[in-house]
């Protein structure tokens, strides 16, 4: 992979998968601009500190980005132990708004990679609901729809990862045909990041124990990051609308 002279924006760049994605892309020559609530502990080419739960702060962050952005990696997210409104705003509505705002700065051949989750694999069971939410094109319209169709807190993380997969799949071909910009998802399983404990608490001991036999171990963040980089690269120039499991085979055990 070669990202020389390419600008990549990575959200959630200060830790976990986001930090490893930034490292991976910079090692391949990319100029990486990080966006995160917290200052980075790694070297980046530029950094914008921002809260991705509000339209105003997202717009202010975009105003600080360069006029050309070749790739956007949406890695930032909060676990299901956060309040449901924050999960909706950061993991779905904010991600979507940021992507829509950055799109106008992306040239043909650019790409968007969204970090979903293996926990979004049951999206077909709620496809009609996710399509209806996807049809609400603005942040505020999405909030209004969710006010009329509330999501239970104990399943909100899974719900919005499902919604992200559906929105990404529906939107990807329109942008690819009209603008030559690809959009794909990666769907990690458990990953050794600072919020792994939050996911265990969210799922509960019974579910964690039940799933323990499905994989050898949680992934390392640097086992997920190269797949994100690949989907940005020219090697994946004919891949769009895909959701790629990066889970040590966990998805295969649900058949």
Q: Give me the active site residues, please.
A: 157
Check: CB of residue 146 under 8 Å from CB of residue 88.
Answer: yes
**Residue 226: closest CA among 212, 207, 244:** 244
For 51, the 3-state DSSP assignment is coil
For 189, the 3-state DSSP assignment is coil
Check: CB of residue 33 under 8 Å from CB of residue 48.
Answer: yes
Tokens read off for 204: 């509960």
Tokens read off for 155: 């399943």
- Quickly count: other Cβ atoms within 10 Å of residue 226's Cβ: 17
The residue assigned the tokens 């910079």 is: 26
- C-alpha distances out from residue 50 to 7, 112, 190, Å: 19, 19, 26
Q: Which residues pair with 164 in a beta bridge?
A: none
Check: CB of residue 72 under 8 Å from CB of residue 112.
Answer: yes
Separation of alpha carbons 28 and 239, rounded Å: 20
The CB-side HSE value for 10 (13 A sphere, CA atoms) comes to: 32
For 119, the 3-state DSSP assignment is helix
């Amino acid at each position: 992979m070669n990202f020389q002279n390419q600008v990549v924006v990575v959200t959630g760049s200060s830790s976990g998968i986001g930090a490893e994605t930034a490292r991976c892309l910079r090692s391949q020559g990319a100029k990486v601009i990080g966006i995160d609530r917290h200052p980075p502990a790694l070297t980046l080419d530029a950094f914008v500190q921002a809260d991705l739960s509000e339209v105003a702060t997202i717009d202010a962050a975009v105003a600080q980005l360069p006029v050309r952005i070749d790739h956007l990696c949406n890695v930032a997210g909060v676990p299901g132990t956060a309040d449901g409104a924050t999960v909706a705003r950061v993991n779905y509505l904010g991600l979507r708004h940021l992507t829509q705002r950055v799109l106008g700065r992306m040239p043909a051949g650019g790409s968007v990679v969204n970090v979903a989750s293996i926990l979004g694999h049951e999206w077909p069971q709620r496809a009609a609901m996710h399509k209806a939410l996807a049809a609400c094109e603005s942040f505020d319209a999405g909030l209004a729809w969710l006010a009329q169709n509330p999501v239970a807190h104990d399943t909100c993380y899974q719900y919005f990862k499902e919604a992200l997969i559906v929105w990404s799949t529906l939107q990807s071909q329109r942008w690819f045909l009209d603008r030559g910009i690809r959009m794909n998802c990666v769907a990690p399983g458990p990953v050794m990041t600072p919020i792994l404990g939050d996911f265990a608490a969210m799922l509960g001991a019974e579910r964690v124990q039940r799933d323990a036999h499905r994989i050898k171990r949680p992934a390392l963040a640097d086992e997920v990051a190269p797949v994100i980089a690949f989907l940005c690269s020219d090697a994946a120039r004919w891949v769009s609308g895909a959701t790629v499991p990066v889970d040590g085979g966990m998805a295969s055990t649900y058949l």
